[in-house]
């Protein structure tokens, strides 16, 4: 991203704004405690006296919630008391009417603000002219940043918090199994106003995360400009790969190259290492002006060695800015006072300790070394660290990627061709024509500037957006594979927005569940091209693939978690210190779970994932998605995929473990995957 001049221009303003925001945050938090405990208890007692025991729980919880959110600017203690007495709705029918009104209007506001966000970010996210500073200004602007402030100012937020109690994860777990669908929707309404974050902070977070996304979206390596020690070009002309996704997928594809595949994989591996330790020359990032030998880190211009400028700490400066941006929420989040608790207890709704227990259980399982030995026997060599991305779990030699790319580029020369084919893809997966057309009428395809993503709607009957890379010669197989994954997200997003009975229950329990659908689709990409594998051992190969994918991403996720723990322990760290911490933590996790399997003592490879830079604490959702996906895959086996997806996903956003219990009859677990892996090894070794 070539915005250095622009960033330098606004740096002083940004620093001054940060100081102002910190002062305002301290003032706001003092104001947040404006209503005393005695004043709160007095209002609760008065309401209990007038309304009776039947409403006691809601009165106590609701008044306390309002008191915690009330500031001096909202009115004095008497205004607080009068508001609670006037606004508490005890009658069941009247409360149901209030819920319907709130739900409808929140959908309207959320939906249209989302549409604005989509439009403003298009220049940053879609193929087109170079990003300008003005594009960045508009793209990082959050039009809804003041909405929450406005809803508190006009008392709608207080009305909601007073009448719809917030339930903790523990309470939802204990009581939720007995709740009706309406009670679950009421509980989700109670989740809506549990903190009061100033608009300035929301704007700062939006700006920071948008800048991080732009940094990653423009972080491409021109592979045809790489050279080995003999000066040879190993990769084809025009191959441009984004980190880490494109580099990883290219590395995977070279398992099919029996001649120079390993050499190319080692070169990509070295590129990744140089990105992590920031020794990569800035001249080779999204730039074709030089050639580069990643192994020696020599940079060439017109055949002569020239001095390069290492990136040094830019990657970690972006990461650090994310931390400081998200940390601003801590003081305003009494229920979830850190980004870690917000990511796990609040967003994922699975405790961090339970997630880590699952991950460590699989990483430490005896199946790891058994699968690794199986891979080594297939490769005919000792494993190397980059074999963490081994993808050869299939019978026979597989189909060369060049052949697959020839097929996909012919079938999908542009975004419109893919969009037109979406209904047929769903029909191949089991949807009837009417429903396939209904779902895909709400999905549009765009050519992405970055690796690709899916962006769902925020109100019924609005579009979900599938973004994927499509080159001048059409969509290559990598792009197609990603597009099928993202299409899975879009289908989930469309179903859970439009077919769930309450808007407040739209969506999924957490992003792991949308990843599960994406994985279900992605695994069927060849089948959708008419290349279905007729191998009777296909289920065993899929089990091994799922296991190895989970093994890879669980370690990466532990690094992400531990880096955030380190940041909270060292909030004043510099980018240099953060770089050192990320590398040290990546080495520690590697040595604990990977070095004895893949070699490379003190390997830092687990620090390459771009999600760490532009999606704070998103990574743990992927391995959870693999586990959920595997259990769902077992559930749909022998059944109509479309019918099962619709049955499971129309549950909406109840908490994860209860969703799983109703969907597959068991909680989230590593055991089905471990058992299937052991069975697969036993069968395939025969």
Place of tokens 């990320």: 582
Contact 408, 480 (CB under 8 A): yes
What is the reported pLDDT for 450?
77
Q: Is the dihedral of CA 136, 140, 144, 150 positive or negative?
A: negative
Read off the pLDDT band of 76 (50, 70, 90): very high
Distances (CA, A) of 184 to 164, 187, 447, 505: 11, 5, 38, 8
Collapsing DSSP to helix, strand or coil, 180 comes out as coil
Integer angstrom CA distances of residue 446 from 50, 126, 467, 469, 474: 58, 7, 5, 8, 13
- The alpha carbon of 491 is separated from its chain's Cα centroid by a whole number of angstroms, namely 17
pTM: 0.82
Percent of the chain with pLDDT over 70: 94
Gap between the Cα atoms of 686 and 675, Å rounded: 17
pLDDT, tens only, 546-572: 999 999 999 999 999 999 999 999 999
Helix or strand run (H / E) with residue 192:
none
| Residues 395-409: tens digit of each pLDDT | 655 688 889 999 999
pLDDT over 50 at 20, yes or no: no
Task: Kindly tell me if the per-residue pLDDT of 212 is higher than 80.
Answer: yes
What confidence tens digit (pLDDT) does each residue in 334-380 have? 899 999 999 999 999 999 999 999 999 999 999 999 999 999 999 99
Confidence check: pLDDT of 13 > 70? no
CB 442 within 8 A of CB 560: no
Q: Based on the number of CB atoms within 10 Å of its own CB, is 174 exposed (0-12), middle (13-18) or buried (19 or more)? A: exposed
State the pLDDT at residue 395. Answer: 61
554: CB partners within 8 A, 6+ apart: 359, 362, 363, 623
pLDDT band of residue 10 (cuts 50, 70, 90) is very low
Domain definitions of the chain by residue range: 1-27, 33-192, 216-277+279-312, 320-394+535-684, 401-502+515-526
Q: Where is 237: in which H helix or E strand? A: none
Q: Is residue 305 classed as helix, strand or coil in its secondary structure?
A: strand
For residue 253, which of 381, 404, 407, 406 has the smallest C-alpha distance?
Answer: 404
Residue range 517-541: mean pLDDT, rounded: 87
The conformational region for residue 52 under phi > 0 = left, psi -120 to 50 = alpha, else beta, is left
Angle between helices 575-593 and 261-277 (to 10 degrees): 140
Q: Are 326 and 205 in contact (CB under 8 A)?
A: yes
DSSP symbols for 586-639 = HHHHHHHHTHHHH--TT--GGG--THHHHSTT-TTHHHHHHHHHHHHHHHHTTS
Query: So what's the pLDDT on residue 523?
Result: 87
409-445 pLDDT tens trace? 999 999 999 999 999 999 999 999 999 999 999 999 9
Of all residues in the chain, what percent carry a pLDDT higher than 90? 84
pLDDT at 164 over 70: yes
> Residue by residue, what is the 3-state secondary structure of 238-286?
CCEEECCHHHHHHHHHHHHCCCCHHHHHHHHHHHHHHHHHCCCEHHHEC
């Amino acid at each position: 991203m070539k915005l250095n001049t622009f960033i330098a221009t606004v740096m002083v303003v940004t620093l001054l704004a940060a100081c102002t925001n910190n002062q305002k945050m301290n003032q706001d938090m003092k104001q947040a405690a404006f209503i005393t405990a005695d004043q709160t208890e007095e209002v609760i007692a008065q309401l209990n006296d007038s309304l009776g025991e039947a409403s006691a729980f809601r009165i106590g919880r609701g008044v306390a919630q309002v008191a915690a959110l009330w500031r001096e600017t909202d009115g004095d203690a008497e205004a607080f008391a009068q508001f609670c007495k006037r606004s508490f709705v005890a009658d069941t029918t009247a409360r149901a009417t209030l819920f319907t009104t709130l739900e409808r209007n929140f959908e309207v506001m959320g939906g249209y603000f989302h549409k604005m966000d989509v439009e403003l970010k298009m220049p940053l996210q879609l193929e087109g002219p170079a990003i300008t500073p003005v594009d960045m200004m508009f793209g990082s602007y959050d039009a809804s940043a003041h909405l929450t402030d406005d809803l508190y100012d006009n008392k709608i937020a207080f009305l909601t918090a007073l009448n719809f109690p917030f339930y903790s994860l523990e309470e939802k777990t204990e009581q939720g199994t007995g709740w009706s669908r309406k009670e679950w929707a009421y509980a989700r309404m109670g989740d809506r106003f549990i903190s009061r974050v100033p608009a300035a902070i929301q704007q700062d977070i939006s700006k920071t995360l948008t800048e991080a996304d732009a940094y990653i979206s423009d972080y491409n390596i021109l592979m045809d400009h790489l050279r080995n020690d003999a000066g040879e070009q190993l990769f084809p002309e025009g191959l441009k790969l984004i980190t880490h996704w494109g580099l990883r997928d290219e590395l995977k594809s070279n398992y099919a190259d029996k001649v120079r595949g390993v050499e190319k994989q080692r070169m990509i591996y070295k590129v990744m290492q140089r990105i992590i330790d920031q020794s990569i020359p800035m001249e080779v990032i999204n730039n074709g002006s030089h050639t580069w030998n990643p192994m020696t880190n020599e940079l060439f211009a017109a055949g002569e060695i020239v001095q390069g400028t290492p990136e040094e700490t830019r990657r970690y400066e972006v990461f650090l800015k994310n931390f400081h941006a998200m940390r601003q929420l801590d003081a305003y989040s009494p229920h979830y006072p850190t980004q870690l608790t917000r990511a796990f207890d609040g967003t994922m709704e699975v405790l961090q300790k339970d997630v880590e227990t699952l991950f460590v259980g699989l990483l430490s399982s005896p199946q790891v070394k058994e699968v690794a030995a199986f891979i080594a026997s297939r490769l005919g060599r000792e494993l190397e660290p980059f074999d963490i991305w081994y993808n050869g779990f299939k019978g026979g030699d597989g189909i060369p990627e060049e052949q697959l790319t020839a097929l996909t580029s012919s079938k999908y020369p542009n975004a419109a061709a893919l969009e037109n084919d979406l209904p047929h893809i769903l029909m191949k997966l089991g949807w009837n024509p009417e429903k396939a057309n209904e779902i895909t009428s709400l999905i549009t395809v765009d050519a992405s500037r970055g690796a690709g993503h899916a962006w769902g709607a925020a109100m019924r009957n609005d579009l979900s957006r599938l973004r994927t890379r499509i080159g001048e010669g059409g969509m290559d197989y990598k792009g197609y594979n990603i597009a099928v994954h993202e299409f899975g997200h879009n289908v989930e997003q469309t179903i859970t927005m439009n077919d769930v009975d309450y808007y407040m229950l739209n969506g999924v329990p957490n992003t792991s569940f949308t990843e599960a659908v994406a994985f279900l689709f992605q695994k069927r990409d060849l089948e959708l091209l008419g290349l279905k594998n007729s191998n009777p051992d296909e289920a065993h190969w899929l089990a091994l693939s799922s296991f190895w994918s989970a093994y890879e991403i669980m370690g990466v996720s532990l690094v992400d978690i531990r880096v955030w723990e380190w940041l909270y322990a060292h909030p004043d760290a510099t980018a240099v210190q953060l770089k050192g911490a990320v590398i040290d933590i990546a080495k520690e996790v590697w040595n604990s779970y990977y070095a004895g399997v893949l070699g490379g003592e003190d390997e830092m490879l687990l620090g390459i994932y771009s999600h760490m830079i532009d999606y704070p604490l998103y990574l743990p959702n992927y391995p959870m998605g693999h586990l959920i996906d595997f259990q769902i895959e077992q559930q749909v086996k022998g059944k109509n995929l479309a019918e099962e997806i619709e049955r499971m996903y129309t549950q909406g956003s109840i908490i994860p473990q209860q969703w799983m219990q109703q969907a597959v009859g068991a909680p989230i677990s590593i055991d089905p995957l471990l058992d299937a892996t052991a069975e697969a090894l036993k069968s395939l070794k025969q």
